[in-house]
Structure 1
Amino acid sequence: MNLLEKVKNLFGFTPAEQEPNPSIITPNERSESAPVTSKSTQTGPPPAATLREQVMRFIIGKLRAYQNEPDTAPIGLRLSVLCTNPEDEDLYRVVLWTNQPGKFQAELARQLADNYITLPKNWQFEYAFFNDTLPDTTYREGNLGLFVVDKSKPDSSPLLARVIALVGQLEQDEYILDSAKNTTFCIGRGRTTQTASGRVRTNDIVILNDDDPGFDPQKGSGNGAVSRAHAAIRYDLVQNRYALLVDPGGLPAGGNKTKIIHPNDSRERADIAGMSYPLQSGDQIELGGEVMLLFELL
């Protein structure tokens, strides 16, 4: 303490206590008033868009050998997906746009073309989910498998089948399906109809409408329950079998229903758009709860 301060103290002049400046924050105060929190790490499966790109890259990468080789390009692809739980399968259904039939195939074709891989106009794309193990495939990576069918592989003999009506009335007594002549056989009420897109659809397996020639009101009393664009039977060249695909008019979302009754009396609801339901000889296909068709291999 210097002489001046001693004099001030002697006469009672003491300096006022300094109050802390609220604008000055010490390091300890800073850490208490503004704690730093770490961002939580996002867990769970990747978003569908990211996973979709991974699937696309897998397929495109395995088809590099066909770049600039349109004459030997594959005529069919079948994607197998191993899903260990229902959540995985739900995610891959979003990835493959199962509720928008044909969209994934169209996008895949576009990306293949960008990579100089041109597939035939009528090439087929199928997918299937598996819970235990993947089937035999041409290529495999992680939980994905790809089976490739190209022109260099020997063609199998045509697969023949027939469809008749057990309940309801068809335009013909029976329809013969020949995979060598056609690969998709549309089923619906009436010969032709116009779809929501404006496209005119021609049915190959015709359920008679009540104003069609030869309609029998007693025999075809339940025909009206069938949609004009109800379903289709498609030949799967990869698996060499026929499968049922349900069109929007045959789905619950369209106010309708479709079922398959197998020879062992088990029932399978066909209610997912774009899903292939394999058919075996002796299967009965129920349309709208009123018409029953019999599918048989020849």
Structure 2
Amino acid sequence: MFTVATLLYDDVRAFDFGVISEVWGMDRVSGGLPGFELRRCSAGARPVRMFPGATVSATHDLDGLDGADLVVVPGRDTPFAPVEPAVLDALRGAHARGVPIGSLCAGAFVLAAAGLLDGRRAVTHWALADRLAAGHPEVRVEPDVLFTEDRGIWTGAGTVGGVDLCLELVRRSHGAGVANAIARRMVTAAHRTGGQAQFIERPIPPVTTTRSALAETMDWARSHLDRPLTVAELARRARSAPRTFARHFTEATGTTPARWLVAQRIAEAQRLLETEDLSVEQIAARCGFGTTTMLRRHFLRAVGTTPTVYRRTFARV
């Protein structure tokens, strides 16, 4: 059974803890999904006061991180406060054993205090990014992304960005099919494109005909990924000029049409590799990459492995 240890300490944010519990703490085995063991680890296995006021009991002392397949650190309401040395030592020990470690939102400050982000790329809530960079200049803060991974250390952006990170961690350990199934049960997107920049201090734009046409165009593109789609073609579907379409698309999604299309093609390739007995050449054509070389190049960049190795790991056929 895949074991996840979540680190608990005072003022941990209840939302972050709830996301972790929803992803790895729910028993979905009867629905055909794999089982997880979620360990709640605190110093001395003591109960922990969460923000904004609830208390959560621990199932393990900090030695609960031993033997875990993954360690996840939720953020806390006091991100700049000192962290117990025992907590930092436990994180360093897990990292030394080669265990992947992820943090949600302000949890990045805990990883930074442990020295685990030194020389690594990291993200936190956009409102805290400057403080993280100022307090830990050795960390390469990337404020605009939803999550980052750098040599086994994962960090997620603010609040709902933690959902993105947790689902990505499931995708990396158990495949896109399991991550998608959990996302459906959570009634959330399995993978959001774009970055955190799209959420920084901007009002939500009203629903307009242009935005409606954009959504329809995106739905149409997802069902025609086998075609060599261009921005000009998508703009025609949205009844817009290409330059105007590209601008509206980036404003709405936080990414360009070209990057969004690649992300959709990769997601479809993952699904086909897991569920269909098709050759890599057929999958490349079905997803619109044209050649296996292009599929492998984009797949390796996005997923960190080759289509063949991914299929060997996650195929259900």
Question: TM (normalized to structure 1)?
Answer: 0.27
**Structure of greater Rg:** 1
Higher RCO, Cα 8 Å, sep 6+: 1
User: Of Structure 1 and Structure 2, which has the larger fraction of its residues in helix?
Assistant: 2
User: Of Structure 1 and Structure 2, which has the larger fraction of its residues in strand?
Assistant: 1
